[in-house]
Amino acid sequence: MKRLSLLLLITAAGCFAQNAAPAVPTYKQLVYPPLKEVRPPEPVEVTLSNGMRVFLLENHELPVVRGFAMVRTGNLFDPSDKRGLSQVMGEVLRSGGTKTKTGDQIDEDLENVAASVESSMGETSATVSFSGLKETEDQVLAVFKDVLTAPEFRQDKIDLTLNQFRGGIARRNDDASEIPRRELLSLLYGRDNSYGWSTEYEHLNRIKRQDLIDFYTRYYFPKNIMLAVYGDFNVAQMQAKLEQLLGSWKAEQAPVPAFPQVTNKPAPGIHFAARADVTQTFFSIGHLGGTLRDKDYPALEVATNILGEGFKSRLMSQIRTKLGYAYSIGATWAANYNHPGTFRIGGSTKSASTVETIQAIRTEIDKMRAAEVTPVELSEAKESVLNSFVFFFDNPEKTLNRVMQYAYFGYPKDFLFQYQKAIASVTRADVLRVMKQYVKPEDLVIVAVGNPKEMPKPLSTVGTVQELDLTIPQPKQETAAADAASITKGKALLAKAQQAMGGADKIAAIKDVTVTARLNLPPAQGGPIAMTGYSMPGPVRQEQTLPFGKVIVFSDGKTGWIGTPQGVQEMPGEVLKQMQGEIFRQLPAIFLADRMAGVTVNAVSDTAVEISGNGQSFRFEFDAATGLPAKMTYLDGGMEATEAYSDWREVGGIKLPFVSKLDAGPLTVSEYKFNTGLKVEDLGKRP
C-alpha cells in the first residue's frame, strides 16, 4: 500500500518526465515581443433628416448585418403605481406585432430566414435590435423599422406578458442565491423610488394597453434615438438605405428629462432571511459607490481588484483557498455612467461558517484600509488591467458599442484611454487613500439568506440582525371612493337585481345549495370536468372528477384541505386565500350583500357596483335591461378574473344563471338544489 502510493506520487510529480525532457524556459525567463498595435475602427457618424443619430461600422468578415437602436428611456421612468410598465412595454413592443403583422407572424417570417428583431428595456436605456444574414438585410430592416415605428401592442400579448411577469414575481424567491444582491440594492437605493423598488402584483394589475401606448409615444421618437449598424455593407449605401427607410418617421416629443437622482441615505445593518431548504448562506454586503467619471474610479478599480477580483485577490486567497469556506467570493466597485453605483462583496458559504466568513471579510477590508498593499499586489493588479486592455478591442462590435455608450452618456471619446493612463499611474498610496476615503465599514449593509438551524453561531455574533421579510405581497383589493350618494345608488342597483331574481326574501330562505355542473375545458387543457359543489353560508365543499381520480376541496374560510387519490393535504395558504374569496362571492348568498355586516355596496357606474368587506372586494356589472348581474370581476391569485352569466332559469322560485363563462372555459350547471339539510360536519368529512 505504502509503496504503491509512493510510486504514484513520484510519477505525478513528474520526476521521470522532468529528467527525460529537454530543458525549456520557465515562465520567469520568457521575454515577450511587443504587442501589435491596435487600431480601433472608427464608426462613421451621420444624422438622418428626422434627427436620428446613426453610427455605421463596416466589417466584411462574415456575411452578417446587425444593429440596434438605443432609446433614451428606462425603467427608472416607471410610474410608482404602475411599476414594470416600461418592461412590459419593451416586451410587447416586439411580441404585440405591428399595424400590419401580428407578433406571431413576425416570429415566423424572421425565423424562416434565421433572422431576429428584439426589443428590451434596461434601467437607463432601451434597445430595439436586429440581426440577419446579408441576403436578408432588406427584409430584416423592414421588420425592424415596423417594430420600432408602428407597434400595435395587441391585448393578447399584453396579457401574456403580464402573466409571465406575475410568474416571475411568484418565483422570485425560489433560488436563494439570487435574493441577497437584489435585496441589498433595494436597501441601498431605497424601496420608495425606481432605483430600489420592486414590481408587485398590484402594479401589474393596473397596467393597461393605453399605458403602453403612452409610454411608447413619449420616448420612442427619432431625436431620442441613436442607431448603430454593423457588418457586411457599404457605409454610403447603408446611410442612403436608412434615410429612405426611416427618414419619413417624423414623430416629435419634448426632450426627455434627466434620470432621477439617487437620494437615498441607507441605514447600515444586517438583514437576514431564514430558509430551511438551503445548506449555504448566500450573502451580499455593500454600500453606495460612485460613477465611472469620478477621478478616483481607476484607483478604486485597482483597490477592489486587489481585494476581491479574480483568483489572485485577497478575499479569494483567504476565504476560498486558505479557509476553504466558499466556492464563490468576490468584491466589485460597480460604477455607473450616470448615477452612483455600489461597492459590493458577494458570495456563499456553508451555513456553519457564516459568521467566520463575514468576520474574515471584515478583516480583509480593514487590512486594506490600514496599510498599503504590497508592491507586487499593486503591479499585478495594474498589469492585469493593462495587459488585458487589448480585449477592449478584440471585436469591432465592442468598439461600436462603446462609442455608442460614450455618446449616449456624454463621455469623451477617448475616455477609455484616459482610464488606461489613470490606471498606469495609480500608486500604493492612492490605493490606501481611496480605500480609506470611499470604503466605509461602518456604512456596510449586510444581506444574508441562510439556514439558521445549521448555524452553530448565530448571525447576531457579528451585529444586530433585522429580519428580512421576503413575503410576496398579494394585490390589495382596490376599492373605489364611496360616499352616501354612491352607496345609496349601489344598494338600489343590488335591490333591482334581487327583485329581478325573485325577491330578497326568497334568496334569504336558501340555507344551503348543491350545484351539479360541468366545466368545459378545451381538449388541449384536459377536456370537460364534472363537478359538484355544496355550500352553506360559510363552508364550501367541491368535488371534481378528473381522469386520475376525484379531487375534493373543503374550506370553512379559516382552514381547509385538498383530497386527491394520493391522500389529503392541508390547504396551502395561497389556495386558502383564494377560497376565502370564493366563499365571499358565493351565489346566491352574495346577492344579499346589503344585509351583511361590514360589507359595503357601492355604485361605481350606472350599471356596476363594487361589493367589499372582510378583506374581499369584487365588482358586479348589471344588465341594464333586465337588472340581473351580467358579469363579476375579481382578483384571483393576483390576476383579474371574470365570470359572465347567462341562461337564467327559475329554480325554486328564484332565477339563477345556468351558464357562467369563466376565464378557463364555460361552466354549465345541470342542477341547483336548495335546502337539502347539509351539515358542516358532512361538508368537512375527509375522504
Q: Which parts of 114-133 interact with another protein (CB under 8 A)? A: 114-116, 131, 133
Select from 191, 208, 322, 679 the one that contacts another protein (CB under 8 A): 322
User: Which residues in the 51-110 window bind another protein by CB under 8 A?
Assistant: 61-64, 104, 107-109
Residues 147-166 that bind another protein (CB under 8 A): 160, 163-164, 166
> In this structure, what are the phi and psi dihedrals at residue 535, rounded to the nearest 5 degrees?
-145, 150
Q: Which is nearer to another protein, 73 or 131 (by Cβ)?
A: 131
Q: Is 278 in the site for another protein (CB under 8 A)?
A: yes
Interface with another protein in residues 481-520 (CB under 8 A): none
* 171, 436, 457, 679: residue in contact with another protein (rule CB under 8 A): 171
CB of 595 to another protein, least distance (A): 33
C-alpha 31/C-alpha 445 separation (Å) is 46
Output helix, strand, coil percentages for the chain, rounded to the nearest 5: 40, 25, 35
The stretch among 43-51, 435-443, 589-597, 633-641 that binds another protein (CB under 8 A) is 633-641
Range 542-561, binding another protein (CB under 8 A): 548
Q: Toward another protein, which CB reaches closer, 26 or 464?
A: 26
Member of 57, 89, 302, 316 binding another protein (CB under 8 A):
316
Contacts of 201 (CB under 8 A, 6+ apart): 166, 169, 472, 473, 474, 475, 638, 639
Q: Give the shortest CB-566-to-another protein separation in angstroms.
A: 10
The answer to whether 220 touches 148, Cβ cutoff 8 Å, is: yes
Residues in Cβ contact with 68 at an 8 Å cutoff, skipping those fewer than 6 apart: 127, 128, 129, 130, 227, 228
Q: Where does this chain touch another protein (CB under 8 A) — which range of 30-38, 48-56, 221-229, 507-515?
A: 30-38
Q: Which is nearer to another protein, 236 or 386 (CB)?
A: 386
Show the binding pattern over residues 366-405: x = contacts another protein (CB under 8 A), - = does not. -------------xxx-xx-xxxxxx-xxxx---------
Separation CA 534–CA 678 (nearest Å): 8
Q: Which is nearer to another protein, 523 or 598 (CB)?
A: 523
Residue 474 burial class via C-beta count within 10 angstroms: exposed 0-12, middle 13-18, buried 19 and up: middle
Of 124, 139, 359, 642, the residue at the interface with another protein (CB under 8 A) is: 139
Q: How far is the CB of 169 from another protein (least distance, A)?
A: 8
At 283, the amino acid letter reads F
Helices (H) and strands (E) in the chain, counts: 21, 25
Chain residues 172-201 in contact with another protein, contact rule CB under 8 A: 174-177
**Smallest distance from the beta carbon of 139 to another protein, in angstroms?**
7
Cα distances from 388 to residues 295, 381, 384, in angstroms, run: 22, 11, 6
Q: Does 26 bind another protein (CB under 8 A)?
A: yes
Q: Which stretch binds another protein (CB under 8 A): 78-86, 182-190, 409-417, 567-575?
A: 567-575
- The greatest distance separating any two alpha carbons of the chain, rounded to the nearest whole angstrom, comes to 106
Q: Determine which residue in the list 569, 670, 675, 676 makes contact with another protein, applying CB under 8 A.
A: 569
**639 is a site residue for another protein (CB under 8 A):** yes
310 binds another protein (CB under 8 A): yes
Question: Is residue 326 a contact partner of residue 177, using CB atoms and an 8 Å limit?
Answer: no
Which contiguous run of DSSP H or E holds residue 416? helix 415-424
Helical (H) or strand (E) element with 148: helix 137-149
Cβ of 422: how many Cβ atoms within 10 Å? 17
Contact 524, 512 (CB under 8 A): no
Q: Which residues contact 395 (CB under 8 A, 6 or more apart)?
A: none
The least CB distance from residue 401 to another protein, in Å, is 15
Q: Where are the alpha helices (H) located in 171-290, listed in sequence order?
A: 179-189, 201-205, 209-219, 235-246
Which pairs count as long-range contacts for 659-664, CB under 8 Å and 24+ apart, including other chains? 662/519, 664/519, 664/521, 664/525
Total residues binding another protein (CB under 8 A): 107
Which lies closer to another protein via its Cβ, residue 32 or residue 265? 32
Measured from the CB atom, the residue of 129 and 177 that comes closer to another protein is 177
Q: How far is the CB of 576 from another protein (least distance, A)?
A: 11
- The residues in 341-370 that bind another protein, with binding defined as CB under 8 A, are 348-350
**Least separation in angstroms between CB 91 and another protein:** 12
User: At its nearest, how many Å lie between another protein and the CB of residue 362?
Assistant: 20
Query: CB under 8 Å to 310, separation ≥6 — which residues?
Result: 316, 384
Interface pattern 232-271 for another protein (x via CB under 8 A): ----------------------------------------
* Using rule CB under 8 A, residue 325 touches another protein: yes
Cell numbers describing residue 172: 422570485
Least distance in Å: CB of 343 to another protein?
21
Residue-wise DSSP of 594-653: GGSTT-EEEESSSSEEEEEETTEEEEEEE-TTT-SEEEEEEEETTEEEEEEEEEEEEETT
